[in-house]
Amino acid sequence: MSSVLHRTINRRAVLIGGSLAAAALLPRVARTAMDSSKELSLTGAPGRAPIVGGSYPATDVWCYGNSIPGPEVRVRQGQPVRIVVGNQLPEDTTVHWHGIRLPNAMDGVPGLTQRPIKPGRQFTYEFTPPDAGTFWYHPHADSLQQLGRGLAGALIVEEPEPTPVDRDILWMLGDWRLTSDAQIARGFGNTMEAGMSGRIGNTVTLNGRVSEEEPVRAGERVRLRLVNGALARIMALRFEGHRPVVVAIDGQPCEPHEPQGGRLVLGPAMRIDVMLDMQGEPGRRYRVVDDFYGGLSYWLTQLAYDKKPPMRAHPLDAQISLPRNPQPEPDLASAEWHELRLQGGMMGGGAMAGTGGMGGLPRGASWAINGVSTICDGGGGMPPLLILPQGRSYLLSIRNDTAWWHPMHLHGYSFRVLSRNGALVPHRQWADTVLVAPKETVEIAFVADNPGDWMLHCHVTDHQVSGMMAVLRVA
């Protein structure tokens, strides 16, 4: 494990300078929500947010709608959406609607699908989300800094007939590297980190705040939407005393199942929806622990039960599965096969893996896909790595030749995850971001029905901007 990881937290989600004594109960800030019946607008601008709380000063951030995270945008499946994005930042930006199958011109990649939005200007995004589920939005320009300073929010597409639950809750998770006075630490784009785990922070937030506890009621059923909006941190959440059931991954419904080992693993950009029956004791608290990085576990928050008796004697007797989305089914028999090899990164000794040493990569690059390093973060000049004739099925074999984890994201599509190291993945879940372990090979398949130039990249932002990015052209 790299020493970078050891700079992270120990007991609590935040331990700035080693102590967060008397972590004050943070006031619940009303979450900004937006409803799609009118035209929506979102403006990115500098702001201040009390993300640590207690006696710490507010943090200087960049945010949408003056809130961290950005407003929870709720829209309806199959209904047109129009969102005017304004730019009050000191630099160019765009918004990418992560996981939504939309027209290429609305995908928000500067230099590839649109011109960047200049400071003081705006751009109107219009699309009709075909799939219900938990998605999110974030910039795709100067990504390390813009996402790292707080520009991100959830985009929830509601089913016409939602599955009955007592509460539908979002936990948008963020990770920050803060100084002892709760300000964002400098040093975005550190080359050493870029070749390793990326910029992992020391402060994990839940809906934009360090969370001491989240109130729950005994007997209730909660649909909990988890979004990992971190730059680089991978999370593996365990709910002490509870048995969450996974009902959707990256917004796409799956066969309801308990996660392996009770751990919900979320790489950057990944989402999991769980159904959680609150079967704990009234008045008690249960920790939610993240133990992805061995020896560096901490608790994210606690489920704090109200003292009231359970609202029902047995768990709610209603189905928990979600209605399927209209995803086209890839035809594996006729699918065209391509291999994508993930290369580069540090290997303890300082050599780059799979590329014949550092010298094999262009200046500024730490990573490559099939020997090509794209480092312009959507800045144009990105010839396609693959050209895929439209309408066919494709099977991509993503082979990780590196010593690091990579959450690989394909824009404009959801794909089926077929296998890992040759072993079939149960339920062949749909996803738009698949976490590939060191030395692992993952096979995915999809129907290339959406024309355009689509990014495929690692969502560890340092990796994305230092070479682990490519364009797939569907034409």
Binding site for ligand C2O (CB under 6 A): 96, 98, 138, 140, 269, 409, 411, 455, 457, 459
Q: What is the per-residue burial (b if ≥16 Cβ within 10 Å, else e) of 119-145?
A: eeeebebebebebbbbbbbbbbbbbbb
Residue 440 has phi, psi (to 5 degrees) of -90, 155
Nearer to ligand C2O by Cβ, of 136 and 293: the residue is 136
CB of 463: closest distance to Cu ion in angstroms?
3
Residue 409 engages Cu ion in binding (rule: CB under 5 A)? no
d(CA 404, CA 266): 15
Nearer to ligand C2O by Cβ, of 225 and 411: the residue is 411
Contact 216, 278 (CB under 8 A): yes
CB of 246: closest distance to ligand C2O in angstroms?
21
Residue 399 engages Cu ion in binding (rule: CB under 5 A)? no
d(CA 394, CA 403): 27
CB of 282: closest distance to Cu ion in angstroms?
44
Among 76, 138, 149, 406, binds Cu ion (CB under 5 A): 406
Q: Which does 458 bind (CB under 5 to 8 A by kind): Cu ion, ligand C2O, none?
A: Cu ion
Nearer to Cu ion by Cβ, of 20 and 436: the residue is 436
Nearer to ligand C2O by Cβ, of 149 and 411: the residue is 411
- H or E element at residue 192: helix 191-194
Is beta strand 245-249 parallel, antiparallel or unpaired with respect to 235-239? unpaired
Nearer to Cu ion by Cβ, of 367 and 413: the residue is 367
Q: Which does 455 bind (CB under 5 to 8 A by kind): ligand C2O, Cu ion, none?
A: ligand C2O
Residue 68 engages Cu ion in binding (rule: CB under 5 A)? no
CB of 342: closest distance to Cu ion in angstroms?
7
Closest-approach residue to ligand C2O (CB):
98
Inter-residue long-range contacts of 103-107, CB under 8 Å, 24+ positions, other chains counted: 103/127, 103/450, 103/452, 104/412, 104/450, 104/451, 104/452, 104/453, 104/454, 105/452, 107/411, 107/412, 107/452, 107/454, 107/455
CB of 216: closest distance to ligand C2O in angstroms?
30
Nearer to Cu ion by Cβ, of 75 and 196: the residue is 196
Among positions 20-39, residues that touch Cu ion (CB under 5 A) are none
Q: Which does 409 bind (CB under 5 to 8 A by kind): Cu ion, ligand C2O, none?
A: ligand C2O
Residues contacting 293, CB < 8 A, separation 6+: 1, 5, 8, 234
d(CA 163, CA 320): 7
- The token pair that represents 404 in the structure block: 């690091």
Among 42, 272, 322, 458, binds Cu ion (CB under 5 A): 458
Nearer to ligand C2O by Cβ, of 141 and 204: the residue is 141
Q: Which does 98 bind (CB under 5 to 8 A by kind): Cu ion, ligand C2O, none?
A: ligand C2O
d(CA 132, CA 1): 38
CB of 328: closest distance to Cu ion in angstroms?
28
Instruction: Work out whether the CA dihedral 107, 110, 111, 114 comes out positive or negative.
Output: positive
Instruction: Work out whether the CA dihedral 228, 461, 19, 238 comes out positive or negative.
Output: positive
CB of 408: closest distance to Cu ion in angstroms?
8
Residues contacting 350, CB < 8 A, separation 6+: none
d(CA 48, CA 2): 32
CB of 243: closest distance to ligand C2O in angstroms?
30
Nearer to Cu ion by Cβ, of 238 and 406: the residue is 406
Residues of this chain that interact with Cu ion (CB under 5 A) are: 406, 458, 460, 463
